[in-house]
Copies of this chain bind each other. A is one copy, B any other.
Amino acid sequence: MSRKEELSRHAARLFAEKGYHGTSIGDLADSMGVQRGSLYAHIEGKEDLLYETMRDGAAAFHGALNSVPDGAAPAEKVRLALRAHMRVVSEQLDVATVFIQEWKYLEGERLEEIVAERHRYEERIRELFREGRDLGELRADLDVTAAALAFLSAANWAYTWLTPGSDTDALADRFYALFLDGFRGYSAHS
């Protein structure tokens, strides 16, 4: 691992644990066992590291969604997307925590860029639900906005309770089953 990559990893871990504002360049240097001054060869300041963690997060979530096969049936795509998202949260818990929780501390163009990436991701999730509705696999009157919010809530909120090493595929499938058929379970009446 390059010194730069090592720095990014330590930054993500410290930002996730102590918050962006709770982490100083001195903390980073201590955590890596180097002199504080040596870090300035790689970064201008702490915000560079926050921005890189956010870009890593955006790339991880978009990359996970890209892994869902285009040709899968719409509801199956929702299931696979939920698995993929929760896997990122679990496997890259530090990056995901920072991506979800600390984005607001970015400033200027970097903030705009990351907010736009978040919106683009949310729109891709809504599109999955739209496709499912339009192709008749999901209900014709599906509330696409609420469905995407429920998906993102369940998948993102996991960063607060997931323990490392959890079987997130099984958890994602439980949410999927619950979301698809509902809490009331019409199947009992049909």
- Interface residues, chain A, CB within 8 Å of chain B? 18-23, 75, 78, 101, 105, 129, 132, 137-143, 146-147, 149-150, 152-154, 156-158, 161, 171, 174-175, 177-190
Contacts and interface: CB of A to CB of B under 8 A. Distances in A.
**Count of identical protomers in the assembly:** 2
Contacts of A186: 181-182, 185-187, 189-190
- Mostly, the A contact residues are helix
A150 B78 CA distance: 16
10 contacts: A20-B22, A21-B21, A22-B22, A137-B184, A138-B184, A139-B181, A140-B188, A180-B183, A180-B184, A185-B186
A183 B184 CA distance: 12
Contacts of A137: 184
B175 A150 contact: yes
Contacts of A174: 143, 146
Contacts of A105: 19, 22
Given A129-B183, A182-B182, A184-B137, A149 B154 contact: yes
